[in-house]
Amino acid sequence: MAAFLLLSGQVGEAASLRVSPTTVHLIAPDSAATLDVSNEAGRPINVQIRVFRWTQEGGVDRLEPTTDVVASPPAAELAADATYVVRVVRVAKAPVAKEESYRVVVDEVPDPRRRQAGAVSLVVRHSIPVFFRDADSSAARVTWSLRPSGSSIVLVARNEGQSHLRLSDIVLSQDGRQFAGYEGLLGYVLEGSTMEWPIPLSGAPASGPVTLSAQTQAGPLNANISIVRR
């Protein structure tokens, strides 16, 4: 899951919106799941729930409106300290092929009546990954490469499998010496897609093979990769 805070000026109050679970995985024929949307504020809030088809093109995430998966209800007013259940349902008639990827975006809608001069409220957005997978689809099959880019090194992941790979806690090293890394969630590479992420350098890599260590949803990952110098 990704949660974003959209704000400017002086913060007027704390964020109040929470969503769980943070990721949804469904294997056909399962086609429906629920999300708990919680209001942790001491006042009512309004939320908007939208679903987008999630693809990756040119190493960039792309979200497009879709009618294949719907959220019900698409909007709600949450009472103070209350939890609301939202259903996420795949309504497309065609069977799932390989894996389909979506994001459910839950926004807290600002209340114009609560605006104060010189202050703004936090506007919270949660983006929940939702995956529908055919039971016979293969696991992620990712090939890796690196290329230098200024003060970073770009990690390139090409997924020729039929399922996504979730990547976090990156360490790049040579002969046991770490020269780059990233803590926390780096991102996903979807089935049949290629993604690129700049990783901050903490040292100068030498020529020769590089060891990639990371965490995935399937457990630890260790791979030997090469630096492509243009």
Spatial distance between the Cα atoms of 111 and 133, rounded to a whole number of angstroms? 38
Fold of 2-133: Immunoglobulin-like (2.60.40)
Is 80 exceeded by the pLDDT of residue 39?
yes
Residue ranges covered by each domain of the chain: 2-133, 142-225
Backbone angles phi, psi at 114, to 5 degrees: -100, 5
pLDDT digits (tens, 9 = 90+) for 89-104: 999 999 999 999 999 9
pLDDT digits (tens, 9 = 90+) for 148-183: 998 899 999 999 999 999 999 999 999 999 999 999
Is 70 exceeded by the pLDDT of residue 9?
no
Domains 2-133 and 142-225 are alike in CATH topology? yes
Q: Strands across the sheet with 17-20, in order?
A: 17-20, 32-39, 83-90, 69-72
Is 90 exceeded by the pLDDT of residue 16?
no
Single out the residue of 174, 127, 176 nearest to residue 153, CA to CA.
174
pLDDT band at residue 110 under the 50/70/90 scheme: confident
Q: For the chain, what is the mean pLDDT?
A: 90
pLDDT band at residue 121 under the 50/70/90 scheme: low
Spatial distance between the Cα atoms of 223 and 215, rounded to a whole number of angstroms? 12
Domain over 142-225 is classified CATH 2.60.40? yes
Spatial distance between the Cα atoms of 180 and 197, rounded to a whole number of angstroms? 12
